[in-house]
Amino acid sequence: MTDSASRLAALRAALGQMNVDGFVLPRGDEHLGEYVAPCAERLAWLTGFTGSAGMTVVQRDGPSAVFSDGRYITQMDQQIDGALWSRLHIRDTPPAHWLAANGGAGKRIGYDPRLVGEAGLQPFLDAGLTLVPLAANPVDQVWTDRPAAPATPCLPHPLTYAGVDSAAKRERIADTLKAEGQDAVILGDPTSIAWLLNIRGGDIPYIPVCLAFAILHADARLDLFIDPARVPADTGTWLGPQVSITPPDRLEAALAALTGQRVRIDPVGTAIWFIQTVQAAGATVVRGSDPCVVPKAVKNEVEQDGARRAHMQDGVALCRFLHWLDEAGVGQGELEAAGRLDSCRAGSPDYREESFPAISGAGPNGAVIHYRVTPESNRRLGANEVYLIDSGGQYPFGTTDVTRTIWTGPDAGPDHVRGPFTRVLKGHIALAQARFPAGVTGHALDALARYALWQAGLDYDHGTGHGIGSYLSVHEGPASISAVYRPVAIEAGMILSNEPGYYRPGAFGIRLENLLLVRPAPVGAPGRAFLEFETLTLAPFDRRLIDVALLTEGERSWLDAYHARVCEDIAPHLDSAGQTWLRAACAPLAGG
């Protein structure tokens, strides 16, 4: 049998020993995070699917399925054995509905209460399914060579980068708790804890956090549940006397001690185990969002300046890479190209690591929205094809994320590529230029980026924009720009991506991404505030793929001004050959 087949058989045997008929396994870890440590890659180990979002439903005697969103449909087809699992779009076929319709009704379906939030579990209950919390995770029982849990040191994140000290942040969140009549909040998101305490670590690839849980009390005291050996003395001093370092095995007892208190828990971002444990202790659970999420998303002035600094350094690296790509890219493998960009970034002493695994896709691989190149799939860049590179960097003062789509030449870009490329660019420009009233959600802006594509009967199956952390996660909530409505207003200080795209399976992919800083706009009637975007990313768009005739005069003016800014800011940091290349790449379109 293949590994997937033998692993599935072992899991089904374990389910029989646990007296359950099925098992629901989400992609996330105990912190319900998108990016997880190797020891938490349970879905990938079991099914072979390496996407950052998804779920499998396994039945002991019956069909099983893996679900993910539109970013990963092609990848699921490539990675998952269709003889073992159905491969389904999670929005078109919700897992709970599928399970109820495929033999799950009346069965005992197990779940790990430390891996799923209450909100994630509710659709299964609404479908009338019988759910059984398991004391142990059956995947962990059969994963015999599971990697060890990470244990990197917890280090201070200096005020020169953070901008606001931890005591002030804790007082602010504690004031929120007191105003809402709450005694404490459970924090399960390591990025919230990192932001709140001004600490960073290395437990998860691409995200500089330490995996920990915390209880913040309404008097601003905080219990941090992490192995004390991972907290150096200088970090303990940095955290101060109001932060107690407590071993993780005391977490359950600490929750039990909340008897009689009103405890805030995020039902979406925190495992249901916390709700079950707190309720069993006789405390009152107050369901509410993580109170750190919005303050973390609204960057202070120091963090905003840090983002600009990060994008300046990132722009220099990206332009050096694009220059190299034009001269020597054809014949290089996707892995080698991604490695070259990483080495360009590593030329800065401030560079720490990638902010996510680079998406380096040549030709048809670029149509896989979240393609991850492997030694087996490593395709060489050919002449006269489309190459998509989506990557980002972590710097101690900011996080970057940028996508460029390149024509390798030497012939001119063909019309069947230039048309959709230019429509994607038109959508990108429309969003970058947007002005909108304060209080607007990203859902209201999403159509701006899609309109030009829609007019040609084209679209893309992913969101248009996500939040970006400050030396934290490259995917940060709560705001987004998406066709899916989320009741979160865009606020000044937030950083969002602008990344419309178009994908032709088996042929090519197009995505054009810059990061945008939300700022007040100098318009609006008295008493009515408006917002706009400042583009942070500094790198040219490939003029060889632009059909100038499809652009309006205003769009051409925006692009010419953007390219002039890129050239002015980046050229002084390049060598003579690089400057010559950049001036050509940023030349005005009017004469093209």
> How many percent of the chain have pLDDT more than 70?
99
Q: Which of 425, 447, 426 is nearest to 436 (CA)?
A: 447
**344 and 258 fall within a common domain:** no
**337 and 284 fall within a common domain:** no
How does pLDDT run across 228-247, given as a tens digit for each residue?
Answer: 999 999 999 999 999 999 99
Structure tokens at 378: 């490593």
Looking at residue 2, its pLDDT comes to 58
Maximum distance among all Cα pairs of the chain, rounded to whole angstroms: 73
**314 and 187 fall within a common domain:** no
Is the pLDDT confidence value at 592 over 70? no
At 57 the three-state DSSP class reads strand
Contact (CB, 8 A) for 173 and 146: no
Looking at residue 388, its pLDDT comes to 98
Instruction: State the first-to-last Cα distance of the chain, in angstroms, to the nearest integer.
Output: 58
Query: Could you say which of 141, 173, 197 is where a domain stops?
Result: 141
Q: What is the DSSP string of 528-580?
A: --EEEEEE-------GGG--GGGS-HHHHHHHHHHHHHHHHHHGGGS-HHHHH
Rounded Cα–Cα distance for residues 142 and 8 (Å): 10
**397 and 444 fall within a common domain:** yes
Looking at residue 575, its pLDDT comes to 98
Contact (CB, 8 A) for 58 and 64: yes
Is residue 344, in this structure, part of any structural domain at all?
A: yes
582 contacts: CB under 8 Å, gap ≥ 6: 319, 323, 540, 566, 567, 570, 571, 574
Backbone angles phi, psi at 271, to 5 degrees: -60, 145
Contact (CB, 8 A) for 363 and 411: no
Mean pLDDT of the chain: 96
Rounded Cα–Cα distance for residues 20 and 549 (Å): 62
**462 and 428 fall within a common domain:** yes
Is residue 192, in this structure, part of any structural domain at all?
A: yes
**119 and 210 fall within a common domain:** no
Is residue 592, in this structure, part of any structural domain at all?
A: no
Mean pLDDT calculated for residue range 169-193: 98
Rounded Cα–Cα distance for residues 115 and 108 (Å): 18
Is the pLDDT confidence value at 1 over 70? no
**85 and 198 fall within a common domain:** no
Mean pLDDT calculated for residue range 431-448: 97
Query: Could you say which of 262, 289, 316 is where a domain stops?
Result: 289
Mean pLDDT calculated for residue range 82-111: 95
Looking at residue 170, its pLDDT comes to 98
Identify the DSSP state of 249: G
Identify the DSSP state of 146: P
Domain with 373 in it: 298-586
Identify the DSSP state of 368: S
Query: Could you say which of 90, 116, 141 is where a domain stops?
Result: 141
How does pLDDT run across 554-587, given as a tens digit for each residue?
Answer: 999 999 999 999 999 999 999 999 999 999 999 9
Is residue 514, in this structure, part of any structural domain at all?
A: yes
Mean pLDDT calculated for residue range 390-410: 98
Mean pLDDT calculated for residue range 322-341: 98
Identify the DSSP state of 101: I
Looking at residue 391, its pLDDT comes to 98
How does pLDDT run across 487-541, given as a tens digit for each residue?
Answer: 999 999 999 999 999 999 999 999 999 999 999 999 877 889 999 999 999 999 9
376 contacts: CB under 8 Å, gap ≥ 6: none
Question: In the chain, how many domains are there?
Answer: 3
Q: Is 363 left (phi over 0), alpha (psi -120 to 50) or beta?
A: left
Q: For position 12, which CATH number holds? A: 3.40.350.10
**511 and 392 fall within a common domain:** yes
Is residue 149, in this structure, part of any structural domain at all?
A: no
**204 and 226 fall within a common domain:** yes
Q: Where is average pLDDT lowest: 71-85, 297-311, 413-427?
A: 71-85
82 contacts: CB under 8 Å, gap ≥ 6: none
**331 and 268 fall within a common domain:** no
Backbone angles phi, psi at 531, to 5 degrees: -125, 160
> How many percent of the chain have pLDDT more than 90?
95
Mean pLDDT calculated for residue range 537-557: 98
Is residue 146, in this structure, part of any structural domain at all?
A: no
Burial 57-74 (b: 16+ CB within 10 A, else e): bbbbeeebbbbbbbbbbb
Is the pLDDT confidence value at 104 over 80? yes
Residue 329: how many CA atoms within 13 Å on its side-chain side? 28
Structure tokens at 417: 């590529």
Mean pLDDT calculated for residue range 408-424: 97
Between vectors from CA 17 to CA 12 and to CA 23, what angle results, nearest 5°? 45
CB 401: neighbour CB atoms within 10 A? 22
Structure tokens at 151: 């244990």
Residue with tokens 């420009």: 429
Mean pLDDT calculated for residue range 109-122: 96
**235 and 320 fall within a common domain:** no
Is residue 147, in this structure, part of any structural domain at all?
A: no
Mean pLDDT calculated for residue range 110-139: 96
Identify the DSSP state of 117: B
Mean pLDDT calculated for residue range 472-490: 96
Rounded Cα–Cα distance for residues 105 and 532 (Å): 50
How does pLDDT run across 69-78, given as a tens digit for each residue?
Answer: 988 888 899 9
Is the pLDDT confidence value at 81 over 70? yes
Q: Is 211 left (phi over 0), alpha (psi -120 to 50) or beta?
A: beta
**39 and 59 fall within a common domain:** yes
Is residue 450, in this structure, part of any structural domain at all?
A: yes
Is the pLDDT confidence value at 288 over 90? yes
- Residues linked to residue 405 through DSSP beta bridges, in sequence order: 388
How would you classify the pairing of strands 108-111 and 130-133? parallel
Which H/E stretch holds residue 466? Answer: strand 465-467
Q: Is 100 left (phi over 0), alpha (psi -120 to 50) or beta?
A: alpha
